[in-house]
Amino acid sequence: MGLGLGRWLPGLGTALDRVQVGGTSLPIAIGLLVMMYPVLAKVRYDDVGSVARDRRLLVPSLILNWVVGPLAMFLLAWAFLGANPAYRTGLILVGLARCIAMVLIWNDLACGDGTAAAVLVALNSLFQVVAYAVLGYFYLEVLPGWLGWSTTSVHVATGMIARSVVIFLGIPLVAGYVTRRVGERRRGRAWYEGRLIPRLAPLARWGLLFTIVILFALQGSAIVHRPLSVLRIAAPLLIYFALMWGVSMVVGYRSRLGYPRTVTLAFTAAGNNFELAIAVAIGTFGASSGEALAGVVGPLIEVPALIALVYAATWSRRWFTREVAR
């Protein structure tokens, strides 16, 4: 539907992108906020402390997100797109932006631990504000220089990153927290989780579908007019998502985290903050640049890839059931 709208209504993309919030199109921002609110309203905030003390979850998450993930995308970008510096740079920018929004819905669809997801996303958000610009400098200028490869200079404003975090995580997080506190105080936890949450839950699905349609309507012309470029960028992305998710699932399984937290670890490691990556690419190189195209292709590939991994996660549940039985 999104591709069709973008194709049949050529001016739609421009109209949708005219108003932006935090560097992201307003309709996409609305879709993300609607999608995330029910998921964060389901979180049991009383359990956050126990999750925050679980080193078996936090340490692997930090290593996978801030060491393994950026390095893996850097290597894949050079292996597949070494001869195209624009696409290569755009792909590295995607790899450096850890997911703080859509990962919550993937985790929810796969029946992961919602509280653990909220903690890991909040942790990634703090690291993103501090580390994104530093990692961009390292992977685009320092490391290629050490290896004798070509370098790229990118300036990333910390304020833009912080604004993205506040909008796409802070607003739905506060709304979800207030909803739970007020709902439980007035009607009790049984009513809140048995009556209110089931009514709010469909909003997450509708928000996800709306976001996907608008996303493809905005960027569908890139697929239609530059299909070969999209395929070239898609190949390393698909490998990246499968690799990060698979490695994380193995780490969680070996650490005996159990299915819910292992799934949470896997999706928070595999997802990326496409809103930030696209904003940085467009702000630095321009909307028509190859870097921007690579950033745009990121979510177009990530959405179907991670939906497929949701099914893979539910299929893998049998292995965790066997482990518990043993």
Q: Which two tokens stand for residue 309?
A: 């991994």
How many Cα atoms are found within 13 Å in the side-chain-facing hemisphere of 168?
A: 32
What is the C-alpha to C-alpha distance for residues 92 and 135, in angstroms, rounded to an integer?
Answer: 10
> Along the 326 residues of the chain, how does pLDDT read in single tens digits?
888 887 788 777 777 777 777 667 788 889 889 999 999 999 999 989 888 889 999 999 999 999 999 999 999 999 999 999 999 999 999 999 998 888 999 999 999 999 999 999 999 998 998 899 999 999 999 999 999 999 988 877 778 788 888 888 899 999 999 999 999 999 999 999 999 999 999 999 899 889 888 888 877 676 777 888 889 999 999 999 999 999 999 999 999 999 999 999 999 999 998 878 888 887 788 767 889 889 888 888 999 999 999 999 999 988 887 654 45
Beta bridge partners of 98: 272
Closest alpha carbon to 241 in 213, 269, 218, 220? 269
Q: How far is CA 143 from CA 133, 147, 233, in A?
A: 14, 6, 22
The C-alpha atoms of residue 71 and residue 249 are separated, in whole angstroms, by 19
* Confidence at residue 325, expressed as pLDDT on a 0 to 100 scale: 45
Backbone angles phi, psi at 10, to 5 degrees: -55, -30
User: In this structure, what are the phi and psi dihedrals at residue 24, rounded to the nearest 5 degrees?
Assistant: -120, 145
CB-CB contact of 320 with 254 (8 Å): no
DSSP calls for 216-280 = HHHHHHHHHH-HHHHHHHHHHHHHHHHHHHHHHHHHHHHTT--HHHHHHHHHHHH-B-HHHHHHH
71-82 burial: b if 16+ Cβ within 10 Å, else e: ebbbebbbebbe
DSSP sequence for 134-182:
HHHHIIIIIHHHHHT---------HHHHHHHHIIIIIHHHHHHHHHHHH
φ, ψ for residue 84 (rounded to 5)?
A: -125, 90
Q: Which domains does the chain have, with CATH numbers?
A: 2-316 (1.20.1530.20)
- Measure the N-to-C terminal CA separation of the chain; round to a whole number of Å: 47
Nearest-angstrom CA–CA distance, 252 and 80: 29
Gap between the Cα atoms of 65 and 130, Å rounded = 14
pLDDT value, residue 283: 77
- Residue 144: predicted pLDDT: 95
